[in-house]
Amino acid sequence: MKTSRNDQCPCGSGKKYKNCCQEKRFQDNDGNKQIRWIISGAIGFFMVLIFWGIFQSFTTDRPEMEAYKCDNPQCNQIHYRQVTQP
Ligand SMILES: [Zn+2]
Ligand SMILES: [Zn+2]
């Protein structure tokens, strides 16, 4: 059932619908939508920054390591050394 703008508001306030919940609902929808867009945009932006920072720290700061066997035939340990880039 549709409430017309000049009917009494179904919330029981005694005001006309256009001066009560219709107006509030309209303002809520309009304002919240913009705020939500801004917040989700900001969160998305920071998430990208954080992931980019993690990605950068993995690719630039940490040298790549490789396992190798040493010359000692008695040695059963696995050694790690930095991969030398050509
Ligand atoms: Zn109302
Ligand atoms: Zn060794």
Q: What is the pLDDT of residue 4?
A: 85
Contacts of 14 (CB under 8 A, 6+ apart): 8
What is the residue range of 50's domain?
A: 28-82
Q: How far apart, in Å, are the Cα atoms of 51 and each of 4, 37, 46, 55, 57? A: 50, 21, 9, 6, 10
Q: What is the pLDDT of residue 38?
A: 93
Q: How far is the CA of 59 from the centre of ligand 1 (A)?
A: 58
Domain count, the chain: 1
Q: How far is the CA of 15 from the centre of ligand 2 (A)?
A: 87
Q: What is the mean pLDDT of each run of 10 residues along the chain (86 residues)?
A: 82 88 66 86 96 81 80 90 78
Residue 17 lies in a domain: no
Q: Which ligand is nearest to the CA of 76?
A: 2
Residue 23 lies in a domain: no
Who surrounds ion ligand 1 at CB < 5 A?
Answer: 9, 11, 13, 20-21
Residue 78 lies in a domain: yes
